[in-house]
């Protein structure tokens, strides 16, 4: 059985956001709901890398109806992930992607919320996972 540790890396090579506008950890409180992913700090315009190995970009993803921000759905044999608030590179669809490979550039989500307290970040969440990854080995 493959170890779960290291199967996913930060798409920004930075830590999880925690600022006065909110925490970017999984299940942090969000206006009557729980945060469903992880927010990784970024610099607008920085390269965003593929967080999983042997991945395929399935399709574009738009977190808001007006499509003002974008992202993608990624898949490998273990995970389906969604990553938002970046502009995907044109050449990532239809080819295998390696963990750490550049897949696009960060957008500035702070402009949408006009908050002086929110730090720029990329949102990543697992849409589905292979449950066998989490089984204890005997």
Please state the domain extents for the chain.
18-129
Mean pLDDT over all residues of the chain? 92
- CATH, domain 18-129, list 3.40.50.720, 2.70.70.10, 2.40.50.140, 1.10.3720.10: 2.70.70.10
In angstroms, what CA-CA distances link 94 with 10, 51, 136?
A: 23, 17, 35
Give residue-wise pLDDT tens across range 81-136: 999 999 999 999 999 999 999 999 999 999 998 788 999 999 999 999 988 888 87
pLDDT above 70: percentage of residues in the chain: 97
Residue 74 has what pLDDT?
A: 97
* pTM for this model (two decimals): 0.91
Residue 42 has what pLDDT?
A: 98
């Amino acid at each position: 059985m493959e170890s779960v540790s290291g199967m996913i890396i930060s798409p920004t090579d930075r830590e999880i956001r925690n600022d006065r506008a909110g925490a970017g950890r999984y299940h942090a409180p969000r206006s009557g709901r729980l945060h469903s992913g992880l927010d990784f700090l970024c610099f607008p315009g920085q390269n965003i890398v593929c967080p999983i190995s042997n991945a395929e970009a399935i399709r574009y993803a738009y977190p808001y109806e007006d499509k003002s921000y974008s992202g993608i759905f990624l898949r490998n044999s273990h995970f389906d992930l969604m990553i938002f608030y970046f502009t995907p590179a044109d050449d990532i669809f239809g080819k295998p992607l390696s963990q750490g490979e550049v897949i696009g550039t960060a957008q500035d989500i702070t402009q949408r919320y006009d908050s002086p307290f929110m730090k720029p970040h990329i949102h990543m969440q697992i849409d589905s996972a292979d449950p066998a990854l989490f089984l204890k080995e005997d």
